[in-house]
Chains A and B, each alone.
Chain A
Amino acid sequence: MKSVYIHQLFAFRFRNFDTLKIELSPKINVFFGKNGHGKTNLLEAISLASSFKAIRPAKNRDLILFDQEQSRIKASIAGHDHFNVEVDVFLQGKKVCISGKSVKSASAINHKLAVITFVPDDLHIVTGGASFRRQLLDQTANGLFPIYAALYRRFEQAILQRNRLLKTPGSSQQELEAFNQVFVQTAAPLIKARHAAIRILLPEFERNLAHISGNSISANIAYESIDVTKQDSEETIQTSLWEKLKTLQTEERFRKTTLLGPHLDDINITMGTHPARHTASRGQARAIVLALKMAQMHCVASVRELTPILLLDDVLGELDQNNAQRLLETIKEIDAQTFITTTQLELLPDLCRDYKAFEIHQGTIV
């Protein structure tokens, strides 16, 4: 097992921090303090440095200290791999470097680090809209397959161009055919990767759910996309996409947008024969979410043979004492570097006594 961790973090004019430099523990780090003082902002800096992605969708302007034009985050990584990451955020865009070398895609960092976040919004995975489940799917696939981010970027570009073409008056069928082919070529590898991710996730999910619920809940997860069986190759996925595109042709022209593809897919979570979103109680829904997140941590660690970096934003307080305890057991088991935010240190479960704590007050570490 390869273990890598963030050893040092430097943030300059980032969100509400003017200048900040901290040494981090390779085990559990806790950021505590009152709401609105910058705990989550610090987690955001770590997320950007370790995955080039913000935890919550954010405009560049919001990542920069008020009235400034640029912010910078630097992280030095230690453990089985040594390198530096630099993220510069400008009003118009971001620039990222790994050990001084500029990189274009998040794939470059995903190849070296795997990051898993657990935020209060994740509690909507069972009951909320499909976007919450797609986020889980994308994060799992990103953690398992470093190339996923690059594939996703290419697909996104294809879908943007295709949607615009569908909105362009007088565009020819032949031109649409060309963009259809690019759409199919870029969508198929994503669908294949997501199928593979769910296949890896499922047994771990079942095991964790049984453990959390004391064998009282059983649920199933399935990737819901175009009709293909799990073993299908990229070529058969392409064929299925083509057939489906043909049947949607008239409707897409009429609605002027793409009506199928990975950006619209979902995970079907079922209990027995019913969708969990209708039948699960609040407690059951939470147990399923927790089992999914714990499965994600286990899978990434075992498949990549790399301990993931875990970012837990205010979720320990949302879980009951037993579940919080189980989550911490998982963290200890895979021995991952973990960042936890909480309003009160006393709220942390007993198991979590061996940590480095940072108190955050008005954008500084006290």
Chain B
Amino acid sequence: MLSEDPIKHLVEQLAKLPGIGERTALRLVLHMLSSERDSVPTLAAALMEAAERVHECSCCHMLTALDVLCSTCISISRDRSVVCVVATVQDLMALEATNDYKGLYHVLHGTLGPMEGIGPKELRIASFLSRITDSNREIKEVIIATPPNVEGEATALYLAGQMSGLKVNITRIASGVPVGGDLQFADRLTLSRALHLRQRF
């Protein structure tokens, strides 16, 4: 399908992306059409390839280009007794970048938000619960790592409620002062929470 005005059409498509307004979209388009014109086919091909090959892992719902399961789920070196539940793919990547965590993940693809029309059915919760029950007690601990905002907290509480009958340890990531941060610059709610949830030294 050919559009009458290819520039306008492309700007409209790009402006649908999060964080990109019409002005930024136009700047990107003009940049690609002038100095970066040679790399346009590569970019287009990369987009097409990603769209064709990337899908959700059938177990943890991380995005992957592997056949059925993602590289974490098929890895033999990961600890299969721990599952860390995260809200988004970015959150998983951030945790993975710490190089500290060797267990498995589960990506919910969002948090509960009635105002945004997101209920439990919109998230990958059913598959998570069957994953825990079907694991034959192989999974000993579930770490809930949803964000500490209102929606993330409600999601964590909902998950904990759903798992109440199951023989599995449920833990929640701690919240507090960023390491290396200056106390005086930490936001006040975080600071008061850190004080409230202090630990024995």
Chain A interfacial positions (CB closer than 8 Å to B): 104-105, 107-108, 111, 146-147, 150-151, 154, 157-158, 160-162, 164-165, 167-168, 171-172, 174-175, 177-179, 181-182, 185-186
Contacts and interface: CB of A to CB of B under 8 A. Distances in A.
B150 A178 contact: no
B187 A150 contact: yes
A207 to B, nearest CB: 31
A147 B189 contact: yes
Nearest to A105: B187
B28 to A, nearest CB: 22
B119 A175 contact: yes
Interface in B164-196: 187-189, 192
A168 B188 contact: no
B139 interface: no
Interface stretch (B47-55, B57-65, B79-87, B153-161): B153-161
Chief secondary structure at chain A's binding surface? helix
B161 A107 contact: no
Contacts of A174: 120, 158, 161-162
Contacts of B155: 178
Interface stretch (B1-9, B10-18, B107-115): B107-115
Contacts, number: 74
A104 B188 CA distance: 11
B176 to A, nearest CB: 15
Contacts of B158: 174-175, 177-178
A179 B119 contact: no
B56 interface: no
Given A150-B189, A175-B112, A177-B161, A186 B150 contact: yes
Contact of B161 (A146, A164, A178): A178
A252 to B, nearest CB: 14
A182 B187 contact: no
B151 interface: yes
A167 B115 CA distance: 10
Nearest to A157: B150
Nearest to B192: A147
Contacts of B192: 147
B188 A161 contact: no
Given A146-B188, A161-B113, 12 more contacts: A104-B187, A105-B187, A147-B188, A147-B189, A150-B187, A168-B114, A171-B114, A174-B158, A177-B158, A178-B161, A179-B114, A182-B153
Contact of A165 (B114, B153, B157, B188): B114
B115 A164 contact: yes
A162 B115 CA distance: 9
Nearest to A101: B185
B154 A182 contact: yes
